[in-house]
Structure 1
Amino acid sequence: MSTREKVLWVVAGIAIVVYALFPVGWIVSLSLKSSDDIANGQFLPTALSWENYEQILVGDAAELFLPALRNSFGIVLIATFIACVLSMFAAYAIARLDFTGKKLILSTALAVAIFPVISIVTPLFNLWRQIGLYDTWPGLIIPYLSLTLPLSIWTMSAFFREIPWEMEQAAQVDGATTWQAFRKVIVPLATPGVFTTAIIAFFIAWNDFAYGISLTSTSASRPVPAALGLFSGASQFESPNGPIAAAAVIVTIPVVVLVLIFQRRIVAGLTNGAVKG
Structure 2
Amino acid sequence: MVVQQRTARVEQKKAAKNESNDRQKEWLGTIGHYIAVFFVVFLALAPLYWTFITSVKNGVEMFVSPPTLFPHSFDLSNYVQVINSAFFLPTLKNSAVIALLTTLISLLFGILCSYALARTRFLGKTVVLSTVLSVNMFPFIAMVGPLFVLFTSSLYIYNTYMALIIPDLLLTLPLTIWFLNSFFREMPIDLEEAARVDGASRLRTLWEILIPLAAPGVFSVMILSFIAVWNDFLFGFTLTSDERAQPVTVGITHFSSEHVIAYGQLAAASIIVTVPLVLMVLLLQRRIVAGLTAGAVKG
Question: TM-score per shorter chain, which class?
Answer: over 0.9
Aligned length, in residue pairs: 271
Deviates more, 1:82-91 or 1:115-124: 115-124
Identity among equivalent pairs (%): 42
Report Cα offsets for 1:69-106 as digits up to 9, x if no partner. 01000011101110011100011011111122321221
Give the one of 13, 18, 38 matched to 2:62: 38
2: distance between equivalents of 1:163 and 1:17?
38
* 1:211 maps to 2:235: yes
Letter in 1 for 2:270: A
Alignment deviations for residues 84-135 of structure 1 (CA, whole Å, 9 cap, x no partner): 1110001101111112232122111111111111111112111111121000
Give the counterpart of 2:190 among 128, 153, 166.
166
Question: Once the 2 structures are TM-superposed, how far is the Cα of residue 260 of structure 1 from its aligned partner?
Answer: 2.7
- Tell me, yes or no, if the aligned pair for 1:91 and 1:160 is still in contact at 8 Å: yes
2:146 is aligned with 1:123? yes
Match of 2:46 in 1: 22
Corresponding residue number in structure 2 for 1:51:
77
From 265, 274, 279, give the equivalent of 1:252. 274
C-alpha separation in 1, matches of 2:200 and 2:88: 50
Q: Is the 8 A contact 2:53 2:71 kept in 1?
A: yes
Kindly provide the CA deviation profile for residues 189-230 of structure 1, in whole angstroms up to 9, marking residues without a partner as x. 011101111111111111111110111111110101111222
Displacement after TM superposition at 1:178 (Å): 1.6
Choose 1 or 2 for highest CA Rg. 2
Judge conservation of contact 2:151–2:163 (CA < 8 Å) in 1: yes
Within a 5 Å distance, the mapping from 1:1-277 to structure 2 comes to 2-40=26-64, 41-58=67-84, 62-130=85-153, 131-232=155-256, 237-275=259-297
Q: Matched residue of 1:271: which SS? A: helix
Cα contact 2:217–2:295 (8 A) shared by 1? no
Offset at residue 4 of structure 1 (A): 1.7
Unpaired segments of 5 or more residues in structure 2? 1-24
Q: Structure 1: state its 5+ residue gaps.
A: none
Shift of 1:273: 4.5
SS at match of 1:98: coil
Structure with higher helix content: 2
Q: Secondary structure at the residue paired with 2:70?
A: coil
CA distance in 1, matches of 2:199, 2:150: 49
> Per-residue displacement from partner, 1:168-192 (whole Å, max 9, x unpaired)?
2222233322222111110000111
Two-structure CA RMSD over aligned residues (Å): 1.6
Distance in 2, matches of 1:89 and 1:258, equals 27
Q: CA deviation at 1:167?
A: 2.1
Alpha-carbon displacement from aligned partner over 1:117-176 (angstroms, at most 9, x marks no partner): 111111211111112100011111111112211222112212222322222222223332
The CA distance in 2 between the partners of 1:6 and 1:173, in whole Å, is 57
- Mean alpha-carbon deviation: is it higher for 32-41 or for 190-199? 32-41
How many Å apart are 1:44 and its aligned residue?
A: 2.1
Supply the distance in 2 between the matched residues of 1:212 and 1:55 (Cα, whole angstroms): 23
Q: Secondary structure at the match of 1:226?
A: helix
